[in-house]
Structure 1
Amino acid sequence: MMSPQFTAWNTQMSEFKKLDPDTAIDIAYDIFLEMAPENLDPADILLFNLQFEERGAVEFVETADNWEEEIGVLIDPEEYAEVWIGLVNEQDEMDDIFAKFLISHREEDRQYHIIWKE
């Protein structure tokens, strides 16, 4: 039988501080700038660079529950933040998404997955 002390310790270890939206956005944008040249078409990079000042957006969104379909790994949406990087239209809707990021809230084991525009 497990002792109550062990159970309490185990509960504390499984808790984590969630990323605040600004931190998640900063992490995603830094990774995007570093990896975009290797993962996007040159035309998309040019479009992003020309349009980002006027129409660019980096948005913290509700973590979708369909990441398993995209990355082949079952995730707990509560353990990850989702950030989109793209361009918005006149209605302020992101209609050209260059990358979707899934970023772990766990600072000691920061994992991320990216879906790049094809």
Structure 2
Amino acid sequence: MADHQVTKLDPDTAIDIAYDIFLEMAGENLEPADIVLFNLEFEQRGAVEFVETAEDWEQEIGVLVDPNEYAEVWIGLVNEQDEMDTIFAKFLISHQESDREYHVVWAK
């Protein structure tokens, strides 16, 4: 039996994938006020961050997720303390290149 070794996404690649998906889908998934806020503030305060994959995605998407199989990226705005205080979307992106599955939790 072959050892199933997944090459993990590097943070920059995960960030690029998440940001591309975000730009493509934000118009359909965010409130108009959030889109205006993103457009006005992202250049100054915007952040796309690679974060440690959370254990609670099952509650968010209803599917049990192995944190080792996915990268997690957040897109939002940071405050003066450089903390992300507005989150527009959280992405879960599979490390499987051949089957690049992803899940998004949009701001409500």
TM above 0.5: yes
Identity %: 77
After superposition, give the CA deviation of every residue in 1:29-65 in whole Å (9 maximum; x if it has no partner): 0000000000001111010010001100000000000
Letter of the structure 2 residue corresponding to residue 76 of structure 1: D
* 1:99 is the counterpart of 2:86: no
Please give the TM-score of this superposition, normalised by the length of structure 1. 0.90
Counterpart for residue 72 of structure 2: 82
**Secondary structure at the residue paired with 1:107?**
coil
Identify unmatched segments of 5+ residues in structure 1. 1-6
Please report how far the alpha carbon of residue 76 of structure 1 lies from its aligned counterpart in structure 2 after TM superposition: 0.4
Compare relative contact order (CA 8 Å, sep 6+) and give the higher one, 1 or 2.
Answer: 2
Runs of 4+ in 1 over 3 A off after TM superposition: none
Pick the structure with greater CA Rg. 1
* 1:27 is the counterpart of 2:10: no
After superposition, give the CA deviation of every residue in 1:74-116 in whole Å (9 maximum; x if it has no partner): 0100000000000000000000000000000000000000000
CA distance in 1, matches of 2:49, 2:25: 18
**Secondary structure at the residue paired with 1:18?**
coil
Please give the TM-score of this superposition, normalised by the length of structure 2. 0.98
Identify unmatched segments of 5+ residues in structure 2. none
CA distance in 2, matches of 1:39, 1:89: 23
